[in-house]
Structure 1
Amino acid sequence: MSKFFYGIEDLFVNYLFAPLDFFRFMDSWWGSNTINWIFFVIGLIAAVYWMGQLKIFNDNGEEDKSISSHSYL
């Protein structure tokens, strides 16, 4: 079973996260955190899109707003 976990470790350390080693040795804080800012912007865009979609469904009245949404309530 330990070989299974060592295989997972090898996959992530040596292959999937290998490009991130480049950012580890940069001297600039902004350069090192560029990938974090990219993920933040992608997440922000996704959240704004999701909220817009929720507003569309809410305005159409398609949302079930009954008090007891589950039988055990």
Structure 2
Amino acid sequence: MKDFFYGIQDLFVDVLFAPFDYLRELELTSWFTANTLSWFFMLIGFVAFMYWMMQLAKYNANNEEDKSVTAHSYL
């Protein structure tokens, strides 16, 4: 059973995290290239945020929502 867990460790450390080791080495030469993955995820988050805001604006433009104070019984 111990070999099974060592196999999982080798998979993650030597194979799956190898690109991150490469990015860590790049940090000494250029900060921007070392953080390309972070910039990529920030771009995805920004695009998703803009899409969500456009969908909310489209829904709000239909005037389907009841915005009165007594719209909900708990209010």
**Which TM-score band (shorter chain)?**
0.5 to 0.7
State the secondary structure of the residue aligned to 1:21.
helix
Once the two structures are TM-superposed, the CA of residue 46 in structure 1 deviates from its matched residue by: 1.1
CA distance in 1, matches of 2:64, 2:17: 43
**In the TM superposition, what are the counterparts of 1:17-32 in structure 2 within 5 Å?**
17-26=17-26, 27=28, 28-32=30-34
CA distance in 1, matches of 2:36, 2:47: 17
Residue 47, structure 1, aligned to residue 45, structure 2: no
Identify the residue that residue 40 of structure 2 maps to in structure 1.
38
- Which consecutive unaligned segments of at least 5 residues does structure 1 have? none
Once the two structures are TM-superposed, the CA of residue 29 in structure 1 deviates from its matched residue by: 1.1
Once the two structures are TM-superposed, the CA of residue 11 in structure 1 deviates from its matched residue by: 5.7
After TM superposition, the score normalised by the length of structure 1 is: 0.63
After TM superposition, the score normalised by the length of structure 2 is: 0.62
- Which consecutive unaligned segments of at least 5 residues does structure 2 have? none
CA distance in 2, matches of 1:52, 1:63: 16
CA distance in 1, matches of 2:60, 2:33: 41
Which one-letter code corresponds to 2:17 in the other structure?
A: F
Count of aligned positions? 66
How large is the RMSD of aligned CA atoms in angstroms? 2.8
* Cα distance, 1:58–1:16 mapped onto 2, change above 3 Å: farther
* Cα distance, 1:59–1:18 mapped onto 2, change above 3 Å: same
